[in-house]
Amino acid sequence: MNQPMFALIDCNNFFVSCERIFRPDLNGHPVVVLSSNDGCAVARSNEAKALGIPMGAPAFKYRELFKRHQVVQFSANFELYGDISDRLVRLLTGITPRIELYSVDESFLDLSELGITDYRAWGDAIRQRIWREVGVPVSIGIAPTKTLAKLASERAKKDRGLQGVLNLSKLPDWLIDPQLEATPIQDIWGVGWRLTPQLRAIGIHTALDLKHMSRSHASQLMGVHGRQMVCELNGISCLPLEREHKVRQSVMHGRMFGEDTSDFSVVESAIASLTARSTQALRRDGLLARRACVSLSSNRHKPGYQRRDLWFTFNTPTADTGLITAQIIAELDKSFNRSQQYHRANVLLLDLVPQDSLQADLLGYVDIEQDNRSQRRLAAVDHIAHRYGKGRIGYAAEKLSQAWQPKRQLRSPRYTTSWDDLPQAQLGPTNL
């Protein structure tokens, strides 16, 4: 077996970079992406970071600063970000199928079988290819362990001199150690807010300090996890690529109401919409739910914060929008408190089973005839939704009130996911 070798490919300021694909004029300008509900900064360009805008900054609090420095604001456009993320994964999967999708903008690749001789050159080439073909900048860290690869990609992002790629493989310690020394302890993968003060208390402030910690001491203080971190920083791979396709355990959709409400029709409409989206996601993945939970809560930042959970169990696992919506609304109607101001609704579907396993489920009661009928109807609903766009067809309750929909006036067009939102290109002057 070859020596383990990993790359971490990490998108820089991912949401901002997605917006810039279709707005090249924003390169070099401060840009923030705000969460669609509460208007807090969820992504910042380097220029915005340099202005001192912190992660999570509420837009209303920074209005003056935004204005003074002409900071461009976007509401999150998750359709776009999801699509760009899919493109990246597809490109990387073409390089090697041995890939771990770590988050929406980070993937580990296992390079050990690729026969690469010059890792630095390989990293440069991949980075340029992603920039050219997909249109987003990435940082790449390459190392014999995942922990070091992640550390290297962070260094590649922060140190401009590295040009976006840091290779820590096949190097002597005296070349690796300065990078570890430049990495504060809280930036190491696996060191959370809980471990940071403990490590600082015993004089461990950088990744280099942790590398030199004795393994037995690390075990004592942090258990197996700590021992593994120390090994990984020393170039001994303990964490393999996690490739098992994670079977979905649950589906959740939640939204804040545009403004707090005690109007049953507004809440009902929101719940119906959220249920429709959740069940659509189930059907797309060929799954059925055994249980559901609906939560309604008041504003947690206001006095008297309250939250109510309603649980449902289905005799037969189902992904039927109508059936689930009807049960939920009926129950909600019975217990709805009209003197309460509601702020947020969540719909969670869980205990998921593959649709194919349904007929084989001898223990559960299955009405196959009814099930087939509802599946045909749902397939038709999904087909219409797919063909004409989401929201063209839905259950009546979904439409009762649109007041709950968040305000997203700063959202960019859905350039890559909606025919109505395609970017436009003017024909230039003809020159025959």
> Residue 419, interface with another protein (CB under 8 A)?
yes
Please choose, out of 131-139, 251-259, 309-317, 395-403, the segment that lies near another protein by the rule CB under 8 A. 131-139
Q: Min. distance of Cβ 82 from another protein in angstroms?
A: 8
Q: Which residues of 112-129 are buried (b: 16+ CB within 10 A; e: fewer)?
A: beeebeebeebbbebbee
**In a 3-state reduction of DSSP, which class is residue 294?**
strand
> Residue 83, interface with another protein (CB under 8 A)?
yes
Could you say which of 68, 373, 386, 392 contacts another protein (CB under 8 A)? 386
Site size toward another protein (CB under 8 A) is: 31
Q: What does the chain come to in residues? A: 432
> Residue 284, interface with another protein (CB under 8 A)?
yes
> Residue 132, interface with another protein (CB under 8 A)?
yes
Distance CA 8, CA 150 (A): 6
Distance CA 84, CA 79 (A): 9
User: What residues are paired with 16 via a beta bridge?
Assistant: none
Please choose, out of 89-97, 240-248, 265-273, 346-354, the segment that lies near another protein by the rule CB under 8 A. 89-97
Q: Which is nearer to another protein, 86 or 113 (CB)?
A: 86
Please choose, out of 68-76, 263-271, 304-312, 422-430, the segment that lies near another protein by the rule CB under 8 A. 422-430
- Of the candidates 74, 78, 76, 88, which has an alpha carbon nearest to the alpha carbon of residue 135? 88
> Residue 427, interface with another protein (CB under 8 A)?
yes
> Residue 95, interface with another protein (CB under 8 A)?
no
Please choose, out of 243-251, 270-278, 300-308, 419-427, the segment that lies near another protein by the rule CB under 8 A. 419-427
> Residue 373, interface with another protein (CB under 8 A)?
no
Please choose, out of 37-45, 80-88, 251-259, 401-409, the segment that lies near another protein by the rule CB under 8 A. 80-88
Q: Min. distance of Cβ 137 from another protein in angstroms?
A: 14
**In a 3-state reduction of DSSP, which class is residue 72?**
strand
CA-based diameter of the chain, in Å? 77
| Residue 322 near residue 376 (C-beta atoms within 8 A) | no
DSSP assignment of 125-193 equals: HHHHHHHHHT---EEEEEESSHHHHHHHHHHHHH-GGGTTEEE-TT--HHHHHHHHHTSBGGGSTT--T
Distance CA 348, CA 311 (A): 9
Q: Min. distance of Cβ 108 from another protein in angstroms?
A: 18
Q: Min. distance of Cβ 244 from another protein in angstroms?
A: 18
Please choose, out of 209-217, 321-329, 372-380, 420-428, the segment that lies near another protein by the rule CB under 8 A. 420-428
> Residue 416, interface with another protein (CB under 8 A)?
yes
Could you say which of 29, 35, 37, 82 contacts another protein (CB under 8 A)? 82
Please choose, out of 86-94, 145-153, 290-298, 334-342, the segment that lies near another protein by the rule CB under 8 A. 86-94
Q: Which is nearer to another protein, 19 or 154 (CB)?
A: 19
**In a 3-state reduction of DSSP, which class is residue 42?**
strand
Q: Min. distance of Cβ 340 from another protein in angstroms?
A: 38
Distance CA 77, CA 408 (A): 9
Q: Which two tokens stand for residue 335?
A: 């217990």
Question: In angstroms, how far is CA 423 from the centroid of its own chain?
Answer: 25
Q: Min. distance of Cβ 116 from another protein in angstroms?
A: 21
> Residue 424, interface with another protein (CB under 8 A)?
yes
- Integer angstrom CA distances of residue 150 from 7, 87, 142, 216: 8, 21, 8, 24
Phi then psi for 409, rounded to 5 degrees? -70, -20
Virtual CA dihedral for 263, 265, 267, 271, nearest 10 degrees? 170
Q: Which is nearer to another protein, 82 or 190 (CB)?
A: 82
Q: Which two tokens stand for residue 357?
A: 């396993």
> Residue 392, interface with another protein (CB under 8 A)?
no
> Residue 428, interface with another protein (CB under 8 A)?
yes
Could you say which of 339, 362, 387, 409 contacts another protein (CB under 8 A)? 387
Residues binding another protein (CB under 8 A): 24-25, 82-83, 86-88, 90-91, 94, 132-135, 284, 386-388, 415-417, 419, 422-428, 430-431
